[in-house]
Amino acid sequence: MAIVGGLAGCSDGSVPQAPDVAASQESTSPAGVVEQENPPPVSSMESESTLPADSAEQESTPPTSTAESITGPAAEPYEPRTGDGVDVVYFETSAPCSCMAKVGDAIEYAVLTHFQDELQSGELRYFLMVSNAPANIDLVKTFNSQPFDLFIVESIDGQETMEPVYDIWNLTGDDAAMVDFVHTLVLSSLEGQQ
């Protein structure tokens, strides 16, 4: 596995690497798992809205917010599924450096932008987990996760297969390529469920 040199500039020195374990594992249900309390907004990858031409138009036009209709990261702690579906689980520390924060933003943007129907139906779940939160230590161990790691969990009849996604680290510095890669990966996993 090659890691792009762009990660070497991360201020905290975190460089994800593939662990010496099998690529997929059967999971067990961790207890007491807590996710990030305030997930970062998707706004860093969204296009900016245009402002009204004049102040009179601005006063008469109520602001439009798409945030109300967007299903974001799961609010509940991660629990394995009892049926079929796909989970995207991304681990990051509570205070990622800017280059690692961009990776998380790209993953979140890909999932929240392209899979709203699947998120709302429950066919897809997205979890943003704080890897250095003491309450998440069991989940980090279950996934054999590093401080920054992406996993795709496919469940069929409650039997889960966890796949770490190390190829994203080859795309750091190219947000559009990372968004496309995550979109394709999640779409392929969802299509495999049908």
pLDDT tens digit sequence for 40-52: 444 444 433 333 3
21 or 97: which carries more pLDDT confidence? 97
69 lies in some domain: no
* pLDDT on residue 12: 52
Provide the CATH number for the domain around residue 113. 3.40.30.10
> Which residue range is the domain that position 163 belongs to?
27-36+76-194
191: how many CB neighbours lie within 10 A of its CB? Answer: 9
181 lies in some domain: yes
178 lies in some domain: yes
10 confidence band (pLDDT: 50, 70, 90): low
Mean pLDDT lowest for which of 30-39, 114-123, 185-194? 30-39
CA–CA dist 137, 115 (Å, integer): 29
pTM of the model: 0.68
- pLDDT tens for 106-156 read 999 999 999 999 999 999 999 999 999 999 999 999 999 999 999 999 999
Please name every residue paired with 88 in a beta bridge, in sequence order, or none if there are none.
126, 152
CA separation, residue 15 to residues 7, 9, 107, 127, 141 (Å): 6, 10, 17, 21, 18
22 or 186: which carries more pLDDT confidence? 186
Whether pLDDT at 26 is above 80: no
Angle at the Cα of 171 from the Cα atoms of 170 and 174, rounded to 5 degrees: 155
44 lies in some domain: no
Handedness of CA 172, 178, 179, 182 (dihedral sign): negative
Structure tokens at 100: 């690692």
24 confidence band (pLDDT: 50, 70, 90): very low
176 lies in some domain: yes
CA–CA dist 60, 136 (Å, integer): 47
Asked if residue 44 lies in contact with residue 103, where contact means CB atoms within 8 angstroms, the answer is no
Spatial CB neighbours of 70, under 8 Å, sequence gap ≥ 6: 42, 112, 116
179 lies in some domain: yes
16 lies in some domain: no
* pLDDT on residue 194: 80
If one counts the domains in the chain, the total is 1
129 lies in some domain: yes
